[in-house]
C-alpha cells in the first residue's frame, strides 16, 4: 500500500512537471538573466565613476598648474561623457571659475548654468546658482541675478545669498534695500565666520549698523 501511494505521488509529480516544467525553467532563466543584468549595470556604473574620477584628477592638476587649455578639455570631457556623475557638475564649477578669471563671462555663465541643472545635490546647485548670480551682476543683468537669488536654497547659504542680493541692489542704486539685505546677511552668517567682516564693511560704508 505504501509503495502504491508513493508511486502515485511520483506519477502526479511527473505529470505536473510535464505541464509546468518549461514555465518553471523559463522563470529560473529569466531571474538569472535579470540578476546578471543588475550586476552588469552596476559594474558599468562603477567603471564610469572610476573613469570620471581619473579625468577629474587631471582637471585638478591642470587647475593647479594654471593650464587653462587642459582644464577646459578635461572639463568638457567630464560634462559630455559623465554628466550623471558628481564629477560633471564639479568640473563645470572649476571650468566656470577659470573662464571668469579670464574675463569670459559668457562661458562662465553657460558652465554654471550646466552645473546648476546637472548637480545631484542641493549644495552644489546652490553654489552654482550663487556664482551664476554673481556673473549676472557683472553683466549688469540685475533682474536675472535677483531671480536666481530668490530661488530656494539650503539654509547654510542664506547669509551668502543675502549678501550678494545686497550687492545687486546697491548696483541698482537701491541703497536702503541693499542695507537691509546686508543686515539680513549678518543675521544669517555664522558668528565665528570671517566673512562677516566683509559684510560689515559694506554695511558701514552705507551708514548702517
Q: In this predicted structure, what is the pLDDT of residue 62?
A: 80
Q: Which are the contacts of 121, defined by CB distance < 8 A and separation ≥ 6?
A: 86
What is the percentage of the chain residues whose pLDDT exceeds 70?
Answer: 76
Least confident of 37-41, 120-124, 160-164: 37-41
Cβ(43)–Cβ(20) below 8 Å: no
83: helix, strand or coil: coil
Mean pLDDT confidence for 52-72: 82
pLDDT tens for 154-202 read 999 999 999 999 999 999 999 999 999 999 999 999 988 889 999 999 9
Distance between CA atoms of residues 76 and 78, nearest Å: 5
Mean pLDDT confidence for 25-54: 61
Mean pLDDT, the chain, rounded, equals: 84
Which carries the bigger pLDDT value, residue 119 or residue 52? 119
Pick the most confident of 61-65, 119-123, 142-146: 142-146
Which carries the bigger pLDDT value, residue 45 or residue 79? 79
Q: In this predicted structure, what is the pLDDT of residue 156?
A: 94
Least confident of 50-64, 109-123, 141-155: 50-64
Q: Pseudo-torsion of CA 80, 81, 87, 90, nearest 10°?
A: -10
Say yes or no to pLDDT of 44 above 60.
no
Distance between CA atoms of residues 86 and 79, nearest Å: 10
pLDDT tens for 68-114 read 888 888 889 888 888 888 889 999 999 999 999 999 999 999 999 99
Q: How confident is the model at residue 7 (pLDDT cuts 50, 70, 90)?
A: low
Amino acid at each position: 500500500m505504501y509503495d502504491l501511494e508513493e508511486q502515485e505521488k511520483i506519477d502526479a509529480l511527473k505529470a505536473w512537471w510535464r505541464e509546468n516544467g518549461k514555465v518553471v525553467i523559463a522563470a529560473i532563466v529569466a531571474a538569472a538573466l535579470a540578476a546578471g543584468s543588475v550586476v552588469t549595470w552596476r559594474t558599468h556604473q562603477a567603471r564610469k565613476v572610476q573613469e570620471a574620477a581619473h579625468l577629474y584628477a587631471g582637471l585638478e592638476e591642470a587647475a593647479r598648474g594654471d593650464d587653462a587649455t587642459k582644464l577646459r578639455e578635461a572639463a568638457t570631457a567630464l560634462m559630455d561623457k559623465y554628466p550623471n556623475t558628481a564629477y560633471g557638475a564639479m568640473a563645470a564649477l572649476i571650468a566656470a571659475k577659470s573662464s571668469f578669471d579670464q574675463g569670459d563671462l559668457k562661458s562662465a555663465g553657460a558652465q554654471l548654468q550646466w552645473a546648476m541643472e546637472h548637480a545631484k545635490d542641493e549644495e552644489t546647485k546652490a553654489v552654482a546658482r550663487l556664482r551664476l548670480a554673481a556673473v549676472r551682476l557683472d553683466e549688469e543683468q540685475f533682474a536675472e541675478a535677483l531671480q536666481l537669488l530668490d530661488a530656494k536654497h539650503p539654509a547654510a547659504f542664506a547669509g551668502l545669498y543675502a549678501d550678494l542680493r545686497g550687492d545687486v541692489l546697491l548696483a541698482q542704486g537701491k541703497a536702503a534695500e541693499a542695507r537691509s539685505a546686508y543686515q539680513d546677511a549678518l543675521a544669517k552668517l555664522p558668528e565665528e565666520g570671517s566673512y562677516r567682516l566683509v559684510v560689515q564693511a559694506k554695511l558701514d560704508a552705507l551708514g548702517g549698523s
